[in-house]
C-alpha cells in the first residue's frame, strides 16, 4: 500500500515533469493504518549488556484487522506490545497508534492514551482483574476512571458481558470463575472505554485447548461485532490458523507474513488458501528464510538479477567453492532514481535480455 502510493506519486511527478520526491511528512507515514511502526528500535541496557529487542521493526495494521503475532521466545513480541500499549518507549524509530505519536506523548497524554485508546489483555488472568471486585464492577471501573455516567456504565457493562458470553458471571468474583470466564470478562474490561485497538499477549497461554478456543472465539466476536482492531500474540497454532493475517517476528523484526483467504473455484467450491510472504521493509530489505539459505549454502553476499516479473537470488559461486565458472550478471542495486527516468511500462531492463538470464 505504501509502495503503491509512492509509485503513484513518482508517476504523477513524472507526468508533471517534476522530480519525484519520497514523501516524508508525518501525515504520509502509514496512511490510514491504525498501527504504524517505522524502523522501531528498543535496546535494553542492563549491567552494561545491551539487548536489541527490536531491531528496526516495520509494521502496518489497518483498522478492523484481527492479526496474530507469532515468534520464538525472546524474539521481541512482548516488547512490541508494551510499546504499542504505551507502557514502554522505543529507543528509536516511529510508532503511531490510533493517531497518537507514541514517541511524543506527554505523561498526561500517555495516561489518557492507555485509558481510552488501547485495551490490553495479559496472559495471567490475575493481572487483568481486581480480585475484590465482581465481573461487572471490574468492567465498569475503567469507565468510572474516564468519568462516564452511571447509566452509560451500567448499559455498556451489560452489553459487553453478554456479547462475550459471560453475562451470567456479572455478580461473581474472579475466584468464582474459571480461567476462560475470567479472560472473557477481562476482554470486557479492556474494551470498556471503546479503544481503537486491543492488544493481547498470549491470552490463552495459561488455558487448556478447549478453554483457549472459547477465549479466542470471544476475541473474534469483539473484532467482528464491536469492530475493534486486535493484535494477539500467540503460540497456539490453532489460533494463528484461524486469522486472516499472521505475522512472524524474528530477531526483533517482522520476517514473514501468512495471509489467508477463501478461494472460490470455477465450480463454486470454496477452499481456504494460505500464502506465506517474506516482508519487504521500507528500506528494501528482505529476510530470506533460514532453510533456503542453508539449502543453497548462501553466505555473506548473493547475486541479484532483475527479471521481467521477479528477482532472482543466487549464492556467490566463489563462496560455494564452485570456482570462477559461470558468472551471473549481478544487479546489486536497482535504483528507484532509474525508474524516474525509465517509464514503468517500458520493456524489461535492456541490460538483461531474456536470453541472458542466469538460469537460461
Ligand atoms: P518475547 O515476548 O518474544 O518472548 P521479549 O520481547 O520479552 O520477547 O524479549 C525480547 C528480548 O529482550 C529478550 O532477549 C529479552 O531477554 C529482552 N528483554 C525483554 N525485556 C527486558 C528488560 N526489561 N530488560 C532487559 N532485557 C529485556
Ligand atoms: Mg513475551
Task: Look up the CATH number of the domain holding residue 116.
Answer: 3.40.50.300
Contact 252, 52 (CB under 8 A): yes
Compute the distance from residue 22 Cα to the ligand 2 centre, in Å. Answer: 36
Residue 168 lies in a domain: yes
Residue-wise pLDDT tens digits, 231-285: 999 987 777 778 999 999 988 999 889 999 888 888 888 888 888 898 887 778 8
Beta-bridge partner residues of 275: 259
Residue 96 lies in a domain: yes
Residue 12 lies in a domain: no
| Residues 156, 93 share a domain | yes
Question: Of the candidates 244, 261, 278, which is a domain's last residue?
Answer: 261
b/e sequence 180-195, b meaning 16+ C-beta within 10 Å: bbbbbbbbbbbbbbeb
b/e sequence 13-29, b meaning 16+ C-beta within 10 Å: ebeeeeebeeeeeeeeb
| Vertex 30: Cα angle to 28 and 32 (nearest 5) | 90
Residue 5 lies in a domain: no
Q: What is this structure's pTM?
A: 0.79
| Residues 82, 125 share a domain | yes
Residue 279 lies in a domain: no
pLDDT of residue 182: 95
pLDDT of residue 349: 43
Residue 65 lies in a domain: yes
Contact 121, 138 (CB under 8 A): no
pLDDT of residue 207: 86
| Residues 224, 144 share a domain | yes
Say how many CA atoms lie within 13 Å of 12 toward its Cβ.
9
pLDDT of residue 28: 63
| Atom in ligand 1 nearest the alpha carbon of residue 75 | 3
| Residues 150, 214 share a domain | yes
Residue 82 lies in a domain: yes
pLDDT of residue 322: 55
| Atom in ligand 1 nearest the alpha carbon of residue 82 | 6
Residue 18 lies in a domain: no
| Residues 257, 295 share a domain | no
Q: Which residues line ligand 1 (CB under 6 A)?
A: 44, 46, 51, 53, 71, 73-79
pLDDT < 50: residue spans in the chain: 1-26, 323-360
pLDDT of residue 235: 82
| Residues 238, 308 share a domain | no
Question: What's the CA gap between 228 and 216, in Å, rounded?
Answer: 14
Number of domains composing the chain: 2
pLDDT of residue 319: 60
Range of the domain at 237: 32-261
| Residues 342, 250 share a domain | no
pLDDT of residue 335: 40
Amino acid at each position: 500500500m505504501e509502495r503503491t502510493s509512492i509509485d503513484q506519486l513518482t508517476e504523477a511527478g513524472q507526468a508533471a515533469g517534476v522530480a519525484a520526491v519520497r514523501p516524508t511528512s508525518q501525515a504520509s507515514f502509514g496512511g490510514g493504518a491504525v498501527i504504524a511502526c517505522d524502523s522501531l528500535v528498543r535496546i535494553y541496557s542492563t549491567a552494561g549488556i545491551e539487548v536489541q529487542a527490536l531491531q528496526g521493526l516495520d509494521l502496518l495494521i489497518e483498522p478492523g484487522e484481527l492479526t496474530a503475532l507469532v515468534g520464538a521466545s525472546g524474539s521481541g513480541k512482548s516488547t512490541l506490545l508494551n510499546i504499542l500499549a504505551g507502557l514502554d518507549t522505543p529507543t528509536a524509530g516511529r510508532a503511531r497508534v490510533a493517531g497518537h505519536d507514541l514517541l511524543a506523548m506527554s505523561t498526561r497524554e500517555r495516561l489518557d492514551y492507555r485509558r481510552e485508546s488501547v485495551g490490553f489483555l495479559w496472559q495471567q488472568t490475575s493481572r487483568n482483574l481486581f480480585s475484590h471486585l465482581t465481573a461487572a464492577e471490574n468492567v465498569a471501573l475503567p469507565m468510572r476512571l474516564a468519568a462516564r455516567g452511571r447509566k452509560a456504565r451500567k448499559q455498556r457493562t451489560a452489553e459487553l458481558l453478554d456479547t462475550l458470553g459471560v453475562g451470567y458471571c456479572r455478580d461473581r468474583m474472579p475466584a468464582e470463575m474459571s480461567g476462560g470466564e475470567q479472560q472473557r470478562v477481562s476482554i470486557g474490561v479492556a474494551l470498556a472505554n471503546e479503544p481503537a485497538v486491543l492488544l493481547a499477549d498470549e491470552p490463552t497461554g495459561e488455558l487448556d485447548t478447549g478453554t483457549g478456543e472459547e477465549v479466542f472465539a470471544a476475541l473474534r466476536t469483539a473484532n467482528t461485532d464491536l469492530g475493534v482492531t486486535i493484535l494477539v500474540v500467540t503460540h497456539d497454532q490453532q489460533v494463528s490458523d484461524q486469522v486472516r493475517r499472521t505475522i512472524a517476528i524474528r530477531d526483533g523484526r517482522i520476517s514473514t507474513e501468512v495471509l489467508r483467504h477463501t478461494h472460490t473455484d470455477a465450480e463454486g467450491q470454496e477452499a481456504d488458501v494460505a500464502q506465506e510472504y517474506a516482508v519487504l521493509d521500507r528500506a528494501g530489505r528482505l529476510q530470506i528464510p533460514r532453510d533456503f539459505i542453508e539449502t543453497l549454502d548462501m553466505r555473506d553476499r548473493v547475486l541479484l538479477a532483475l527479471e521481467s516479473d521477479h528477482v532472482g537470488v543466487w549464492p556467490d559461486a566463489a563462496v560455494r567453492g564452485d570456482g570462477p565458472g559461470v558468472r551471473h550478471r549481478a544487479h546489486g542495486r536497482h535504483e528507484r532514481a532509474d525508474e524516474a527516468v525509465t517509464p514503468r511500462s517500458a520493456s524489461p531492463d535492456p541490460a538483461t535480455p531474456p536470453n541472458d538470464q542466469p538460469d537460461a
